[in-house]
């Protein structure tokens, strides 16, 4: 295969293996001005300062950056937009924390024009907006003792994002504002919230909006995702070990090429089928998105997701055998997360799309069934027939359909 077409294949298909990626499917477009400059997403090449200054100078918003160190030594960058463009930031503006999904970073909240991006819309509506970037993404690749090129740096899964990253960021927001925060999660960001809630770790959060909730993954409908998760689980570990999973790296490209030759998997035709047909993306936004994403994650994290797809159970990372699990958990099987323990009176706004191939409708309904005894007045469920995974973040009409509802929900449950 010629180098060029191989690259092309790798480019097209790198999305496909990313089980929960926010995924656009119109990667060809003309460029134009945006809230975010079209930075190259090279890991570590760009300081968060650059994003912040761009936000301030180009768009008239205030922007602050914070570093927070997790209890296991990772140094995370957190971005804050403390008030709207018109200013008027009084003291007790309610904080909102935005938590992105896997293989992307906090910048996904800012790729639309300001009047269409959730982060700036919230700021303009009186909220104090905090944007997290989890470990391994370009602004959060520091550690007190480990270099990001050390495989130990990548020894984590979303269990650790729940236990360490999210807790540290929530604590930071609380320290800085003196208030409990509202929360918006997309995809993996919803999983982190639900698991935290079920484990009693969300006491400094007031309410949560869950966009494209991810908990049970047995019904994801994309051929490549299923193949990756079920058939190639062993190979993922064997090929990458405990390492960075960088979609732009050569090792991953080769791995994906193998997946694409698997019977029934056509990487060219598969793209729209993978996250579902996003109805409402602007081509320019998609281009900006592609220049900023994807971001690295830990291979171990993807293996953990693959375990959920394969086993149909939401549990901690499975070390693969009874002895190893016993060593880590004191029991032979990884402990199961029990989402029925989510406090029934915790305010939850949940929105899901009819075309979403990752947060599949059948899987969301399993989740909704578990949440059926939730206090009626503390829960609002929204179903958007035409939306797929990325529409919730980048859809041109997401403000009218979803964001206004979130704002109303937060105001009601402040
Ligand atoms: C990791 O990167 C540092 C510099 O950033 C370099 O000095 C070191 O040799 C690298 N280690 C490995 C194992 O590549
Ligand atoms: C990875 O972290 C786990 C604890 O979470 C530890 O038991 C294990 O030894 C680490 N793996 C390696 C290769 O260091
Ligand atoms: C897409 O973005 C461009 C530039 O901001 C804008 O001119 C165009 O109207 C947008 N299209 C839609 C459908 O919003
Ligand atoms: C169990 O898994 C660990 C690491 O995951 C491995 O080192 C060990 O050899 C395995 N033991 C058996 C009996 O398969």
What pLDDT shows up at residue 58?
65
Of 39-53, 61-75, 97-111, 324-338, which range is least confident?
A: 39-53
Which residue blocks in 108-187 are alpha helix, DSSP H?
118-124, 158-160, 167-177
The per-residue pLDDT for range 150-180, each reduced to its tens digit, is 999 999 999 999 999 999 999 999 999 999 9
Please state, in angstroms and rounded to a whole number, the distance separating the CA atoms of residues 59 and 54.
8
Of 27-41, 84-98, 280-294, 309-323, which range is least confident?
A: 27-41
The pairs formed by 247-252 with CB atoms below 8 angstroms and a separation of 24 or more are 247/14, 247/15, 247/18, 247/103, 247/294, 247/296, 248/14, 248/41, 248/294, 252/10, 252/14, 252/17
The domain that holds 308 is classified in CATH as 3.40.50.1820
How far apart are the two ends of the chain, measured CA to CA in Å? 57
Which residue blocks in 248-342 are alpha helix, DSSP H?
250-260, 267-275, 283-292, 299-311, 322-329
- For a pocket test of ligand 2, which of 145, 155, 328, 334 has the largest count of ligand atoms closer than 8 A to its C-beta? 155
What pLDDT shows up at residue 225?
66
pLDDT tops 50 at residue 263: yes
> Dihedral sign, CA of 351, 352, 358, 360?
positive
What pLDDT shows up at residue 275?
65
What pLDDT shows up at residue 326?
98
What pLDDT shows up at residue 374?
98
What pLDDT shows up at residue 226?
66
pLDDT tops 70 at residue 3: no
pLDDT tops 50 at residue 93: yes
User: Looking at ligand 3, which residue's alpha carbon is closest to its atom 14?
Assistant: 396
pLDDT tops 50 at residue 271: no
What pLDDT shows up at residue 311?
85
Work out the mean pLDDT of the chain and round it to a whole number. Answer: 82
Range of the domain at 404: 2-412
Give the number of domains in the chain. 1
CA of 270 to the centre of ligand 3 (A): 26
Q: Across residues 230-247, what is the average pLDDT?
A: 70
What pLDDT shows up at residue 227?
65
Residue bearing the bigger pLDDT, 60 or 119: 119
Q: Does residue 75 contact residue 144 with C-beta atoms inside 8 Å?
A: yes
Point out the ligand 4 atom lying closest to the alpha carbon of residue 319. 5
Q: Across residues 391-399, what is the average pLDDT?
A: 95
CA of 32 to the centre of ligand 3 (A): 10
**At 14, is the pLDDT very low, low, confident or very high (cuts 50, 70, 90)?**
very low
**At 358, is the pLDDT very low, low, confident or very high (cuts 50, 70, 90)?**
confident
Question: How many CB atoms sit inside 10 A of residue 364's CB?
Answer: 24
Q: In terms of Cα–Cα distance, which of 135, 133, 117 is closest to 125?
A: 117
Residue with tokens 């969301």: 364
């Amino acid at each position: 295969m010629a180098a060029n077409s191989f690259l092309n294949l790798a480019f097209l298909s790198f999305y496909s293996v990313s089980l929960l990626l926010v995924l656009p499917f119109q990667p060809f477009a003309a460029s134009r001005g945006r809230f975010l400059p079209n930075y190259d997403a090279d890991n570590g090449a760009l300081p968060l300062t650059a994003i912040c200054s761009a936000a301030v100078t180009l768009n008239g918003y205030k922007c602050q950056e914070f570093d927070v160190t997790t209890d296991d030594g990772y140094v995370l960058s957190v971005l804050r937009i403390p008030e709207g463009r018109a200013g008027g930031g009084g003291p007790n503006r309610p904080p909102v924390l935005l938590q992105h999904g896997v293989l992307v970073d906090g910048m996904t909240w800012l790729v639309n024009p300001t009047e269409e991006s959730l982060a700036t819309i919230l700021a303009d509506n009186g909220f104090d907006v905090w944007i997290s970037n989890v470990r391994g993404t370009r602004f959060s690749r520091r550690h007190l003792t480990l270099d990001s090129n050390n495989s130990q740096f990548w020894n984590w899964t979303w269990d650790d994002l729940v236990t360490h990253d999210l807790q540290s960021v929530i604590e930071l927001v609380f320290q800085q504002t003196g208030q409990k925060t509202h929360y918006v999660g997309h995809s993996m960001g919803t999983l982190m919230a639900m698991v935290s809630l079920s484990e009693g770790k969300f006491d400094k959060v007031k309410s949560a909006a869950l966009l494209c909730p991810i908990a049970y993954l047995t019904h994801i409908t994309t051929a490549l995702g299923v193949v990756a998760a079920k058939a190639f689980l062993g190979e993922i570990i064997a090929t990458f070990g405990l390492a960075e999973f960088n979609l732009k790296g050569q090792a991953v490209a080769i791995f994906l090429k193998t997946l694409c030759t698997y019977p029934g998997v056509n990487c060219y035709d598969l793209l729209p089928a993978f996250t579902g047909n996003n109805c409402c993306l602007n081509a320019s936004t998609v281009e900006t998105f592609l220049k900023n994403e994807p971001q690295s994650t830990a291979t171990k994290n993807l293996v953990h997701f693959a375990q959920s797809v394969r086993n149909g159970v939401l549990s901690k990372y499975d070390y693969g055998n009874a002895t190893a699990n016993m060593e880590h958990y004191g029991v032979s099987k990884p402990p199961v997360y029990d989402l029925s323990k989510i406090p029934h009176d915790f305010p939850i706004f949940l929105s899901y799309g009819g075309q979403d191939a990752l947060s599949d409708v059948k899987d969301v309904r399993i989740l909704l069934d578990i949440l059926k005894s939730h206090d009626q007045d503390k829960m609002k469920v929204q179903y958007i027939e035409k939306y797929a995974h990325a529409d919730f973040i980048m859809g041109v009409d997401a403000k009218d359909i979803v964001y206004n509802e979130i704002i109303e929900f937060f105001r009601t449950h402040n």
